[in-house]
């Protein structure tokens, strides 16, 4: 039963769908979640007595944003691991959204625009993009190796 549930989740996180909507829905979901959480007035959030706990929350939210931006832009790389321009575009998009999120908090009661929060957002987005690159590189390399072994085995048995 768990496998049935996890397959779609695994595909959403790790898959590279051909459909543009399927690539961008996870980005939109993370952006909406961040926007909703940023819209909550500061006095409604529960108090946590851990120094800089909010920085951890920023990292938890913006790392997946970097991952999903990289995943969405990777489709432009045409089935190769995301490289150069696509990675930079994903980073810029995530960093820009982090800045917009901090600016948005200026108008949220008892919230403030904090450069340190934005720097955490930037770092988390960059880490998310790099993690996607590493995953995509490894997945493509593994796929190529598996395909090569299958082609080699087929040639030995006379099958193609």
Whether 20 is in a domain gets the answer yes
Is the overall model pTM greater than 0.75, yes or no?
yes
- The whole-angstrom separation of Cα 89 and Cα 129 is 10
Whether 160 is in a domain gets the answer no
Whether 52 is in a domain gets the answer no
> What is the b/e burial string over 135-155, where b = at least 16 CB atoms within 10 angstroms of the residue's CB?
bbeeeeeeeeeeeeeeeeeee
Helix (H) or strand (E) holding 123: helix 115-156
Q: Determine the 3-state secondary structure of 114 from DSSP.
A: coil
140 has pLDDT over 50: yes
Mean pLDDT confidence for 82-101: 92
Tens-place pLDDT, residues 110-122: 999 999 999 999 9
Mean pLDDT confidence for 48-75: 92
Structural domains in the chain (count) = 1
Whether 45 is in a domain gets the answer no
- Residue 41 vs residue 13, higher pLDDT: 41
Whether 97 is in a domain gets the answer yes
Whether 46 is in a domain gets the answer no
Per-residue pLDDT at 1: 47
Tens-place pLDDT, residues 26-60: 999 999 999 999 999 988 877 788 888 889 999 99
Per DSSP, the residues of 16-80 read --SSHHHHHHHHHHHHHHHHHHHTS-TTTSPP--STTHHHHHHHHHHHHHHHHHHHHHHGGG-SS
Whether 139 is in a domain gets the answer yes
- The whole-angstrom separation of Cα 150 and Cα 144 is 10
Q: What percent of the chain has pLDDT over 70?
A: 73
Cβ pair 23, 72 in contact under 8 A:
yes
Q: Burial-class residue 29 by CB neighbours within 10 Å (0-12, 13-18, 19+).
A: middle
What is the residue range of 110's domain?
2-38+58-145
Whether 14 is in a domain gets the answer yes
- The whole-angstrom separation of Cα 160 and Cα 155 is 6
103 has pLDDT over 80: yes
């Amino acid at each position: 039963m768990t496998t049935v549930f996890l397959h779609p989740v695994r595909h959403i996180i790790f898959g590279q769908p051909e459909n543009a909507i399927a690539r961008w829905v996870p980005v939109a979901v993370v952006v909406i979640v961040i926007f909703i959480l940023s819209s909550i007035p500061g006095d409604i959030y529960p108090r946590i007595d851990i120094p800089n706990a909010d920085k951890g929350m920023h990292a938890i939210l913006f790392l997946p944003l970097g991952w999903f931006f990289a995943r969405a832009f990777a489709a432009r790389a045409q089935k190769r691991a995301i490289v150069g321009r696509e990675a930079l575009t994903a980073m810029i998009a995530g960093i820009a959204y982090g800045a917009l999120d901090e600016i948005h908090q200026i108008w949220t009661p008892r919230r403030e625009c904090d450069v340190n929060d934005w720097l955490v957002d930037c770092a988390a987005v960059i880490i998310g993009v790099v993690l996607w690159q590493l995953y995509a590189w490894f997945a493509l390399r593994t796929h190529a190796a598996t395909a090569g072994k299958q082609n080699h085995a087929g040639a030995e048995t006379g099958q193609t």
